[in-house]
Structure 1
């Protein structure tokens, strides 16, 4: 009974109880649609279909490009695994928009993530994501706190351990009472 309660308490302490998250929207801007000279160095799409396709690709790049993930990890003092786990980048279908959210164990890390992302997008963090091809449409705002049910794990473990211990004790007491 005591072992179950202790085990659940230890497991519950290892799990984060509160996380913080924020969300922003990024957009693939459009280039000039009227007679762009062939010598132009602009990498911006001029057709809506092209911009939509780029947004779909950029969402994948944001969540999987090793260089970009590494830069974000360094800026937030997190591991690359923590950045990958906390980052969500979703292309909104039939649009040039990508919804980016980030979850971490403290609000400062979430804010640092979006600051780092903003800086990286301005300086071309990846050869697959040219500078200026992805811009913030909406700022992330203040990180919001979410309390996880994992905080209840120690109490649930203690209750389960108590019930199992009580059932075992009653079972042993009953088996002793029925002997001749």
Structure 2
């Protein structure tokens, strides 16, 4: 189990300026938003009282993004949030939101991992034709022995119906056609 790194400590001075304790410089809300986008956790505390102000500032960052037209939260969700605060009793909304975001992060991680397993070449136009060319070439070069097990193609010449010279001519023709198609794509 991996341990979460300690959050970046930001101290708020009486002047309301925010101070990054790691880099020993003042930061803005936009800087803090950038830290969070980069995956850092932050903790914002009042220097004098020690009060944790993180929630207040995170809500302020969201409000500023929403006011600039960078709307993420639909009005219905905002209404539900207000209702959950005004409900008077314990609300299930915070637990639901936490579980939803956990599932979203988990799904994104799995998707990114899965994308690494996908060969982007398979999406390239003409890839199947190129594989067929390779298969036909290997078949011609080996006389059908130890055939490459790539996908079959209608453009592939039947090696047992032709002699090696005709196969090679067919491969050259198909290769020239493929090169022509690729040059048109460029």
Q: Which has the higher strand share?
A: 1
**TM-score, normalization by structure 2:** 0.25
Task: Look at both structures and tell me which one has the larger radius of gyration over its CA atoms.
Answer: 2
Q: Which has the higher helix share?
A: 2
**TM-score, normalization by structure 1:** 0.25
Higher RCO (CA-CA < 8 Å; seq separation 6+)? 1
